[in-house]
Amino acid sequence: MANVIKLHVNGGVQVVSTDPRASLLSVLRDQLDLTGTKYGCGEAQCGACTVLIDGHPRRSCITPVGTAAGRQITTIEGLEQHGKLHPVQEAFLTEEAMQCAYCTSGMIMTAVAFLKSNPSPTEEEIAHAMEGNICRCGTYPRIVAAIQRASHQGTQS
Amino acid sequence: MTNDPSMPLANDAPLGSGSESAIEPERYEFRAPAVHHFGLQRRDFFKFLGAGVLVVCALKQVAAAQESGAPPPGGLGFGPPLPKEISAWLHVGENGVTVYTGKVEIGQNIRTSLAQAVAEELRYPVGKVELTMGDTQLTPYDMGTFGSRTTPTMNLQLRKVAAAAREQLIALAATKWNVDAQKLKAVNGRVEVAGTKRSIAYGELVAAQQLTAVIPADDPLIPPAQWTVEGKSISKVDGRDFVTGKHRYPSDQTLPGMLYGKILRPPSFGATLVSINAPSFDLADNVTFVRDGDFAGVAAATEAAATRALNALQAKWNEQPQISNSDLFAYLKGNSVDAKGFEGAQKYETGSVDKDLAAADRQLHQTYTVSYIQHAPLEPRAALAQWSGNMLTVWTGTQRPFAVRTEVAQATRVPEEQVRVLMPDMGAAYGGKHTGECAVEAARLARAANAPVKLVWTREEEFTWAYFRPAGVIDVAGGIRNDGALAAWDYTNYNSGAAGIRTFYEVPSQRIVFQPTRYPLRQGSYRALAATANHFARESFMDELAHAANMDPLAFRLKNLKNDRLRAVFAAAAEKFGWNRAKPAPGHGFGIAGGFEKGGNVATCVEAAVDRESGFVKIARVVVAFECGAIVNPENLKNQIVGANIMGIGGALFEKINFAGGRILNAQFSKYRVPRFSDVPPIDVVLLDRKDIPPAGAGETPIVGLAPAIGNAIFQATGKRLRSLPMIPNGLNSA
Ligand code: FES
Ligand code: FES
């Protein structure tokens, strides 16, 4: 059953031997040790497992790894560039947009993709775009504030 | 109000005094065994930590004083044996400051707030304080992180420990330079001679020293009014690790050669395993199969292989008849358990309730119900277990690492000394991870497999096999006089719990009963315990009485309330909300509710907007006023208050476990609705800072006012009184 699959992850190339139907989430976490991407539900309901595939936010828990072969995969570990955090990461820190922070990776990845499609969103647009991500600790208002902060930064720079 | 000390109800400390008993007299907090004696000797400490100054906080003051004696002037004792019962310790070494506490970080941000306490007293950069938490081998015994006890206890203890270390460092410098200690100051990790350039870093000062001090519980501290680090907002100390995905949660732990575990779950609660057939497994999958009584599970090289192996097991179960949630409340009322002592009913009674109720100008009787709900922390239970010979190490997410050590040791039949439990900062709990099921399961599989085994519960397992917040039925009867004064109060809570059950209003005659019952689902702690249910019933009922008395709900409360701290939060919330100024728009309603629990006082105002036709309810805005003594970190306090209220929206409006035939019917986020971005109203927090009152915890109490305030607001908007939590799982029109 196992195939050899070539994955482009965070700018590098990884070759894994796996059943192509295995979830991208399990391959990232168990084979590539990229544990920043989290499991929260396994049914595309919570967003904790969100990664970018060719720049689009995808739920890695329901993405068969085979379908991600050859595409550009970005995980939370790949956002920081040369020791410099992505503006969304910075904004989450500045706004203290986390408690247990288990949802944070998925929130940040969803927000990064969203801000690309809508660089200056309103609060309602943010809430709407983020509706699929659960924060059980209830830090939603701070997450909205963080995304807004990152968006302003984005338009300024 | 009168307090009868013989009545062991949850909040029978004098209300409003800020005091509370050291142990929660609450049945749904799992109780812990006695404090263990801790066996490390001075020598062991320094061997392990390196040279430096070591300060330990002794739990028992008398013992500490006897065993340590007063530290000699200019330095510390070199030889006193350390006390056996230690709650925390701090080490200032050549390379930094490390603090050891059995408390754990579960998202309540105590890694930061405790570091802040230490930094404040030690005069040391907050970001450089290392905290080792919840490791049963390295940290002193701790009952667990729950009941909002960290801030009132551990925070104080660490401040004392750090203050003592600071004094010792100053004494060391005084000896070294041969100057009067009065002239020295500790500043930002250095001791300096005041007014000069002369200074020395702590690390340099302690080189080659092996000094110990034992701190009893009552050393002088910097008063809150003079705090410079505490009382300020400091960002999460390790925030960067979280936004970069570097932090390793329990479910992220790995070991070389690790296998993945899966557990065979019964088809329904209470089912027993009759027989099981394990086929022969694919060799490459490296499958281990274990059956031990009703326990059956597998471990394999990959999670996929473990799942395949699990699905290949053929098991026969003997199932038991079970009730479903449509029978729940009748069941609870009909199945009282009469036991002696702590397990039995708890009752508080004063005055002549029956007589005063009958004689009151108006009487009212109502019943409120509360459904089972699930904590559903985003990180489910997870454990990684490793045996080396007879020694077992388990990394797991729990609020009580020491209790889990006991649980695992008993289950695997090894002495506790051979079990080490470590708790990496985890993905939250809310009272839901007091137990060690997953750790026990991983340990059992690891022993059979002779390899490290990791087990992460699926969301469905977490929804089904973790424990629930207890459901309950609450009957209330009240009598009022024509002037709106309460005359009699008769209150019985079936099953949900005794936390926050006592009324803080002035009522001459009261009977308050917590009645345990048999119950169908596994139940345990939850954020604020039964205080949410009891505040819902009490504060909804107070609203009903206010309307019966034709009085403004706030005025009615204040007429019956003497407690100053509560009056202050009610006044603050009402003021900010504009309770007396604004009137709700058509289709809108205002609601107010408040209460007291665990040293915190809260008042909550809600504006609800109801669309008549669709029955859609929107919470338009919320104002929460909160006071829990001196404020330690205002930003973090606000974060906790807002978080508790957002979580509270779920339990108030739609969260509910459905079950039938011993099965959970909605064990998925697609079927169990939790609050999301669009559910969140603007939440205004008003903090009252009482520097004259020691700080209490704040992770729980802010949740209790929300549900009744929403219900009261919906009533004002629609005339519809909602008496069940959740109030509108299927919208207002079917409520
Ligand atoms: S784990 Fe993928 S959406 Fe929840
Ligand atoms: S911070 Fe805990 S789930 Fe979002």
pLDDT of the residue at B496: 94
Decide if B11 touches A, using CB distance below 8 A. no
Contacts of B257 (CB under 8 A, 6+ apart): B451, B452
For the stretch B96-108, pLDDT in tens is 999 988 888 888 7
pLDDT of the residue at B25: 30
Nearest CA in chain A to B645: A138
Is 90 exceeded by the pLDDT of residue B665? yes
Q: Is there a cis peptide before residue B83, judged by omega within 30 degrees of 0? A: no
Nearest residue to B23 (alpha-carbon basis) of B149, B134, B159, B145: B149
Domains B32-244 and B255-319+381-456 share a fold: yes
pLDDT of the residue at B36: 36
What are the C-alpha distances in Å from B529 to residues B13, B48, B500, B580? 17, 40, 9, 32
Q: Are strands B453-456 and B382-388 parallel, antiparallel or unpaired?
A: antiparallel
Contacts of B680 in chain A (CB under 8 A): 127, 138, 140-141
What is the rounded CA–CA span in Å between residue B597 and residue B15?
A: 9
For range B205-218, the mean pLDDT? 78
A101 lines ligand 2 (CB under 6 A): yes
pLDDT of the residue at B68: 33
Domain ranges of chain B: 32-244, 255-319+381-456, 335-373+468-734
Is 90 exceeded by the pLDDT of residue B44? no
What is the rounded CA–CA span in Å between residue B202 and residue B86?
A: 24
Is 50 exceeded by the pLDDT of residue B78? no
- Residue A73 and residue A140 in one domain: no
- Residue A54 and residue A110 in one domain: no
For range A118-128, the mean pLDDT? 95
pLDDT of the residue at B308: 93
Task: Flag the least confident range among B233-237, B276-280, B281-285, B595-599.
Answer: B233-237
Decide if B255 touches A, using CB distance below 8 A. no
Task: Locate A44 and state its tokens.
Answer: 């595309």
Task: Locate B645 and state its tokens.
Answer: 């209220």
For range B488-497, the mean pLDDT? 96
Contacts of A16 in chain B (CB under 8 A): none
Q: Tell me the three state secondary structure of residue A81.
A: strand
Q: How far is A7 from chain B (nearest CA, A)?
A: 19
Write out the H or E segment, with its range, that includes residue B442. Answer: helix B437-449
Cβ <8 Å between A141 and B683:
yes
Give the count of Cβ contacts less than 8 A between chain A and B.
Answer: 170
With left for phi above 0 and alpha for psi between -120 and 50, is residue B351 left, alpha or beta?
Answer: left
For range B28-32, the mean pLDDT? 37
For range A31-51, the mean pLDDT? 98
What single-letter amino acid sits at B339? Answer: A
Write out the H or E segment, with its range, that includes residue B353. Answer: helix B353-359
Cβ <8 Å between B244 and A36:
yes
Ligand 2 atom closest to B378 (CA): 3
Dist. CA A117 → ligand 1 center (Å): 22
| Mean pLDDT, all residues of chain B | 86
- Residue A25 and residue A70 in one domain: yes
What is the rounded CA–CA span in Å between residue B570 and residue B564?
A: 10
Give the residue from A30, A45, A78 where a domain finishes: A78
Residue B161 · residue B217 · CB < 8 Å: no
What are the C-alpha distances in Å from B169 to residues B185, B205, B580, B618? 10, 7, 56, 58
- Residue A14 and residue A71 in one domain: yes
Cβ <8 Å between B106 and A100:
yes
Is 60 exceeded by the pLDDT of residue B24? no
Confidence of residue B696 (pLDDT cuts 50, 70, 90): confident
Which of B347-356, B523-532, B691-700 has maximum average pLDDT?
Answer: B347-356
What is the rounded CA–CA span in Å between residue B384 and residue B154?
A: 28
Cβ <8 Å between B244 and A76:
yes
Q: How far is B249 from chain A (nearest CA, A)?
A: 8
Position with higher pLDDT, B54 vs B664: B664
Tell me which residue range forms the domain holding A45: 3-78
The DSSP bridge partners found for residue B299 are B261, B288
Residue B397 · residue B482 · CB < 8 Å: no
CATH of the domain at A20: 3.10.20.30
Total domain count for chain A?
Answer: 2
Nearest residue to B279 (alpha-carbon basis) of B309, B258, B305: B309
Nearest CA in chain B to A128: B678
Nearest residue to B595 (alpha-carbon basis) of B11, B9, B24, B8: B11
- % residues pLDDT > 90 (chain B): 64
A87 lines ligand 1 (CB under 6 A): no
Q: CATH topology for B255-319+381-456? A: Aldehyde Oxidoreductase; domain 4 (3.30.365)
Which of A31-45, B90-104, B401-415 has maximum average pLDDT?
Answer: A31-45
* DSSP tag of B151: I
pLDDT of the residue at B84: 60
Contacts of B527 in chain A (CB under 8 A): none
- Residue A94 and residue A128 in one domain: yes
- Residue A72 and residue A17 in one domain: yes
* Probe target for ligand 2 pocket from B236, B378, B527, with the most ligand atoms within 8 Å of CB: B378
Is 60 exceeded by the pLDDT of residue B221? no
With left for phi above 0 and alpha for psi between -120 and 50, is residue B103 left, alpha or beta?
Answer: beta
- Residue A71 and residue A92 in one domain: no
Task: Quote the strand ranges of B342-457, DSSP E.
Answer: 346-350, 362-370, 382-388, 391-396, 419-422, 453-456
Which of B344-348, B410-414, B674-678 has maximum average pLDDT?
Answer: B674-678
For range B109-117, the mean pLDDT? 87
Decide if B118 touches A, using CB distance below 8 A. no
CATH of the domain at A99: 1.10.150.120
pLDDT of the residue at B639: 81
pLDDT of the residue at B232: 59
Position with higher pLDDT, A90 vs B66: A90
Contacts of A98 in chain B (CB under 8 A): 236, 239, 242-243
- Residue A10 and residue A73 in one domain: yes
Cβ <8 Å between A100 and B430:
no
What is the rounded CA–CA span in Å between residue B78 and residue B72?
A: 10
Confidence of residue B10 (pLDDT cuts 50, 70, 90): very low
pLDDT of the residue at B695: 80
- % residues pLDDT > 70 (chain B): 87
For range B424-442, the mean pLDDT? 92
Q: How far is B327 from chain A (nearest CA, A)?
A: 29
What is the rounded CA–CA span in Å between residue B93 and residue B147?
A: 33
Contacts of A38 in chain B (CB under 8 A): 249, 251, 378-379, 427
Contacts of B106 in chain A (CB under 8 A): 100
Q: CATH topology for B32-244? A: Aldehyde Oxidoreductase; domain 4 (3.30.365)
Cβ <8 Å between A38 and B376:
no
Contacts of B537 (CB under 8 A, 6+ apart): B368, B474, B476, B491, B493
Q: Estimate the share of chain A in helix, then strand, then coil, as percent rounded to the nearest 5.
A: 40, 20, 40
Tell the residue nearest (CA) to atom 4 of ligand 2: A135
Which of B68-77, B203-212, B215-224 has maximum average pLDDT?
Answer: B203-212
pLDDT of the residue at B564: 96
Nearest residue to B210 (alpha-carbon basis) of B49, B352, B356: B49
Pick from A92, A101, A127: CB nearest B678: A127
- Residue A72 and residue A93 in one domain: no
Position with higher pLDDT, A72 vs B23: A72
Mutate to test the interface with B, among A38, A39, A100 (most CBs of B within 10 A): A100
Write out the H or E segment, with its range, that includes residue A117. Answer: helix A104-117
Position with higher pLDDT, B341 vs B241: B241
Contacts of B432 (CB under 8 A, 6+ apart): B374, B375, B376, B377, B466, B467, B524, B525, B526
Decide if B618 touches A, using CB distance below 8 A. no
Q: Estimate the share of chain B in helix, then strand, then coil, as percent rounded to the nearest 5.
A: 30, 25, 45
For range B350-374, the mean pLDDT? 97
Q: How far is B234 from chain A (nearest CA, A)?
A: 10
Q: CATH topology for B335-373+468-734? A: Aldehyde Oxidoreductase; domain 4 (3.30.365)
For the stretch B191-202, pLDDT in tens is 999 889 999 999
Cβ <8 Å between B107 and A137:
yes
Task: Flag the least confident range among A8-22, B230-244, B350-364, B528-542.
Answer: B230-244
What are the C-alpha distances in Å from B352 to residues A55, B6, B348, B507, B510? 71, 18, 12, 11, 8
Position with higher pLDDT, B220 vs B580: B580
Residue B318 · residue B271 · CB < 8 Å: yes
| Ligand number with the minimum distance to the CA of B670 | 1
The DSSP bridge partners found for residue A12 are A9
Handedness of CA A35, A37, A38, A41 (dihedral sign): negative
Is 80 exceeded by the pLDDT of residue B17? no
**Whether ipTM exceeds 0.90:** yes
In chain B, positions 277-306, which contact chain A (CB-CB < 8 Å)? 302-304
Task: Locate B716 and state its tokens.
Answer: 């004002």
- Residue A72 and residue A39 in one domain: yes
Q: Tell me the three state secondary structure of residue B314.
A: strand
Task: Flag the least confident range among B65-74, B486-495, B497-506.
Answer: B65-74
Write out the H or E segment, with its range, that includes residue A66. Answer: none
Q: Tell me the three state secondary structure of residue B336.
A: strand
Is 70 exceeded by the pLDDT of residue B134? yes
- % residues pLDDT > 90 (chain A): 94
User: How many C-beta atoms surround the C-beta of residue A123 within 10 A?
Assistant: 14
Task: Quote the strand ranges of B271-337, DSSP E.
Answer: 272-277, 288-292, 295-300, 314-318
